[in-house]
């Protein structure tokens, strides 16, 4: 693996992760009605750390390969949606808008996974947990939206 390439992708993931520390859940999020299956707060940073590391490794494996254009385009799309979701949900408190961003993220992660699988099975496999997590996060976002409709108008 090209470690410099890995560092570049990890830096992109770090930029996305920074929004998590800039827009903390806080009292507003704690006051929202959430489903009983909501993961505890400590799970989110642990899961995202693993997912960001896996994503950077997968991208570093695939980026130098012939035919990687679509995979890398999807990778760029997923990190953009990933970066956008936190400020929209926690910063602007736009639960509904965040859900639609989450749908874009899900499509981008699925696209990345499928494109990576065509080039490198390890890189594709590294995206499977990410797709599972984004599926759970999307369902959670939808549930919070439905449970808190007056707060989720925008």
Q: How far apart are CA 11 and CA 108, in angstroms?
A: 19
Q: How far apart are CA 108 and CA 55, in angstroms?
A: 12
Q: What is the DSSP string of 94-114?
A: -HHHHHHHHHHHHHHHHHHHH
Q: How far apart are CA 115 and CA 67, in angstroms?
A: 9
Per-residue pLDDT of the chain (154 residues; tens, 9 = 90+): 899 999 999 999 999 999 888 988 888 899 999 999 999 989 999 999 999 999 999 999 999 999 999 999 999 999 999 999 999 999 999 999 999 999 999 999 999 999 999 999 999 999 999 999 999 999 999 999 999 987 766 5
Cβ–Cβ < 8 Å for 12, 75: no
């Amino acid at each position: 693996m090209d470690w410099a390439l890995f560092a570049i992708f990890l830096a992109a993931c770090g930029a996305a992760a920074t929004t998590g520390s800039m827009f903390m859940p806080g009292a507003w999020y704690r006051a929202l009605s959430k489903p009983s299956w909501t993961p505890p707060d400590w799970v989110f940073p642990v899961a995202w750390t693993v997912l960001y590391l896996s994503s950077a490794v997968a991208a570093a494996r695939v980026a130098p390969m012939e035919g990687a254009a679509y995979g890398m385009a999807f990778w760029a799309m997923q990190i953009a949606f990933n970066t956008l979701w936190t400020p929209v949900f926690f910063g602007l408190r736009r639960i509904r808008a965040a859900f639609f961003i989450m749908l874009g993220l899900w499509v981008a992660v699925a696209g990345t996974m499928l494109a990576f699988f065509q080039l490198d099975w390890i890189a594709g496999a590294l995206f499977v947990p990410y797709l599972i997590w984004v599926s759970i996060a999307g369902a959670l976002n939808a549930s919070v939206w439905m449970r808190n409709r007056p707060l989720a108008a925008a």
